[in-house]
């Protein structure tokens, strides 16, 4: 049984089809890269998987259970974690408290005390290298530090599936390389299936992903092992061929 199965998902906003008849499967522990131009439906797909939106058509199956209409707060305890393209931390709470919230509302929800959540938070804060900031108010962090805090919070959820939405945007390329290696290591060690957008940095994507999904105008254009996806002419047209600032 797949960890996650999307069956013919369509999500519209008025007349706009943001996700168009997308089906896909994700197995436990898989490392997947998702790419596609701006507006191609990546974030909307994440929102359908995490429960921010219910699709107009199709089903979301997680570990064999139909979760199509469950709200996000009921999906997180099942093991669906994510980072947000635009982090919205609790600004006046400390970094440590923000990360501990992940532990409290993830798969350990109801199973850990506040103190245990804070210990879990400390572990992941140290792993992402934010230990010097852990007692600072989250609102005082730089955008890059906020992204690192998001990653720590998502990992503290102890997810089975982690959706990373531009979690490393704005970081220096060498920092992205290191972060990608770190996330891959955590994913392998903790058997987390990870879907990540590595923000137009192909080298990092190739180092991370076993499989690449290419989105184009809401549809899934390619879904193949990394080497095969990269040599697909459709990907070269849509992804490598388009103008880019990198
Ligand atoms: N809440 C919304 N209301 C209306 N339209 C939306 C909404 N969210 C997304 N869209 C539209 O749906 C389409 C897909 O957007 P989405 O944010 O999923 O793309 P994306 O691939 O994540 O893009 P980017 O690379 O810029 O983050 C776009 O045309 C976008 O304008
Ligand atoms: Mg997006």
DSSP 161-209: EEEESSTTTTS-HHHHHHHHHHHHHHHHHHT-EEEE--TT-HHHHHHH-
11 Cβ inside 6 Å of ligand 1: no
Tell me how far the alpha carbon of residue 106 lies from the centroid of ligand 1, in angstroms.
Answer: 26
What is the structure's pLDDT at 245? 40
38 Cβ inside 6 Å of ligand 1: yes
What is the structure's pLDDT at 170? 81
Question: Domain for residue 53, yes or no?
Answer: no
Question: Domain for residue 3, yes or no?
Answer: no
**HSE of 94, CA atoms in CB hemisphere, 13 A:** 14
Indicate the SS3 state at residue 128.
Answer: coil
Q: Work out how many domains the chain is built from and give that number.
A: 1
Question: Domain for residue 119, yes or no?
Answer: yes
What is the structure's pLDDT at 240? 60
Which region holds residue 70: left if phi is over 0, alpha if psi is between -120 and 50, else beta?
A: beta
Question: Domain for residue 149, yes or no?
Answer: yes
What is the structure's pLDDT at 238? 74
* Contact between residue 223 and residue 24 where contact means Cβ atoms under 8 Å apart: yes
Instruction: Of 126, 128, 81, 85, give the one whose Cα is nearest residue 101.
Output: 81
**HSE of 241, CA atoms in CB hemisphere, 13 A:** 9
What is the structure's pLDDT at 78? 97
**How far, in whole angstroms, is CA 174 from its chain's centroid?**
20
Nearest CA to ligand 1 atom 29: 39
Torsion of CA 170, 175, 176, 179, to 10 degrees: -120
Question: Where in the sequence is the domain holding 154, given as residue range(s)?
Answer: 80-158
* Contact between residue 226 and residue 33 where contact means Cβ atoms under 8 Å apart: yes
Crossing angle of helices 143-156 and 114-127, in 10° steps, is 130
Ligand 1 atom at minimal distance to the Cα of residue 85 = 27
Nearest CA to ligand 1 atom 15: 39
Nearest CA to ligand 1 atom 9: 44
20 Cβ inside 6 Å of ligand 1: no
Residue 55 is encoded by which pair of tokens? 């699709």
Question: Domain for residue 172, yes or no?
Answer: no
Nearest CA to ligand 1 atom 12: 18
C-alpha span between 101 and 184 (Å, rounded)? 23
13 Cβ inside 6 Å of ligand 1: yes
C-alpha span between 211 and 18 (Å, rounded)? 23
What is the structure's pLDDT at 120? 97
Question: Domain for residue 106, yes or no?
Answer: yes
Question: Domain for residue 60, yes or no?
Answer: no
What is the structure's pLDDT at 160? 98
Question: Domain for residue 148, yes or no?
Answer: yes
What is the structure's pLDDT at 244? 41
What is the structure's pLDDT at 200? 62
What is the structure's pLDDT at 246? 41
What is the structure's pLDDT at 134? 97
What is the structure's pLDDT at 46? 96
Q: Which pTM does this prediction carry? A: 0.92
* Contact between residue 115 and residue 197 where contact means Cβ atoms under 8 Å apart: no
Q: What is the mean pLDDT of each run of 10 residues along the chain (246 residues)?
A: 97 97 98 92 96 97 97 95 84 95 94 96 96 97 91 96 88 85 93 86 84 94 93 77 47
């Amino acid at each position: 049984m797949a960890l996650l199965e999307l069956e013919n998902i369509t999500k519209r906003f008025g007349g706009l089809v943001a996700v168009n008849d997308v089906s896909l499967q994700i197995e436990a522990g898989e490392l997947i890269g998702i790419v596609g131009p701006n507006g191609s439906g990546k974030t909307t797909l994440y929102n359908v998987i995490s429960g921010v939106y219910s699709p107009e058509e199709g089903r979301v199956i997680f570990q064999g259970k139909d979760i199509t209409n469950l709200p996000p707060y009921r999906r997180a305890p099942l093991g669906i974690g994510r980072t947000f393209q635009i982090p919205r931390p609790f600004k006046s709470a400390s970094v440590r408290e923000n990360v501990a919230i992940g532990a409290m509302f993830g798969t350990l929800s109801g199973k850990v005390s506040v103190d245990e959540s804070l210990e879990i938070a400390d572990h992941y804060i140290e792993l992402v290298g934010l230990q010097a900031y852990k007692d600072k108010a989250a609102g005082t962090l730089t955008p890059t530090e906020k992204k690192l805090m998001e990653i720590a919070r998502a990992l503290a959820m102890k997810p089975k599936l982690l959706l990373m939405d531009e979690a490393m945007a704005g970081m220096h390329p060498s920092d992205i390389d290191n972060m990608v290696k770190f996330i891959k290591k955590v994913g392998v060690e903790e058997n987390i299936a990870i879907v990540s957008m590595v923000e137009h940095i192909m080298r990092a994507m190739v180092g991370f992903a076993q499989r690449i999904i290419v989105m184009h105008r809401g549809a899934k254009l390619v879904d193949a092992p990394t080497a095969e996806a990269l040599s697909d002419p459709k990907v070269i047209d849509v992804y490598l061929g388009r103008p880019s600032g990198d």
